[in-house]
Amino acid sequence: DGAPAEHHAVKAMAKRGIDLEGFRSQVMSAELLAGSSLILGMERLHVREVAVLGDDLFARPFTLPEFVADAELLGPRRDQSLADWVRSMGHFRQPSDYLVDAPTDEVPGPMGQSARTFRRGADQIDGLLAQLVELAGPARTPSAAGTASAPAHLDHPHGGHL
C-alpha cells in the first residue's frame, strides 16, 4: 500500500545504522511470497494471514521468535538447502495451532507505542536475527570457523507489515 515506516521505527533503526527513509509497505499477496523459502513475521497473526493466501504457503511462515526457538531445537542448517531446513521445522505444525495466542512466540507490535517500545522491539529483533544467522548460515569449515562471524543485525527494513 506504499506507507512509509513509522517515525519511531525510522529513529530506532537509524541508531543501528539502517536507513528506513525509503521504505514503503507492500500489500501481501500469494504472488509476492511465491518464491520464498522462509517467511518471517513478528506475530502469529502474520502467520495466519499468509496461510489464508494459499494452502501451499503454510509450510513457510513462522514468527521470528518461534523459528529461532525451533531452529535451536533442530540444530544448525549444515548442508541442507534453506527450503529443506524450513520444511523440516514446519513438518509437525497445523494451521489450527495458530488459532490461539502464544505471546512468547511473538515480538510485540509497537505501533502506537513510545519510542522506547520501538527500541526494545528493535533490540529483540536484532538478537533473534543474530541467532538466526548463526543457525541458518552455511556450514563453516574448520579452517574458516575462526575467521567468519555472523553479523549482529541484517540490513533489511522491518516495518509494520510482513
Residue labelled with grid coordinates 526494545: 120
Share of the chain above pLDDT 70, in %: 85
pLDDT mean over 39-58: 92
Whether the CB-CB separation of 60 and 33 falls below 8 Å is answered with yes
0.75 surpassed by pTM: yes
> Which pLDDT band holds residue 4 (cuts at 50, 70, 90)?
very high
pLDDT, tens only, 124-153: 999 999 999 999 987 555 544 444 433 333
User: Is the confidence at residue 12, as pLDDT, over 80?
Assistant: yes
Q: Name 50's Cβ contacts closer than 8 Å, sequence gap at least 6.
A: 28, 33, 39, 41, 57, 58, 60, 61, 162
Give the model's pLDDT for residue 52. 92
> Which pLDDT band holds residue 156 (cuts at 50, 70, 90)?
very low
Whether the CB-CB separation of 29 and 7 falls below 8 Å is answered with no
The mean of the pLDDT values for the chain is 84
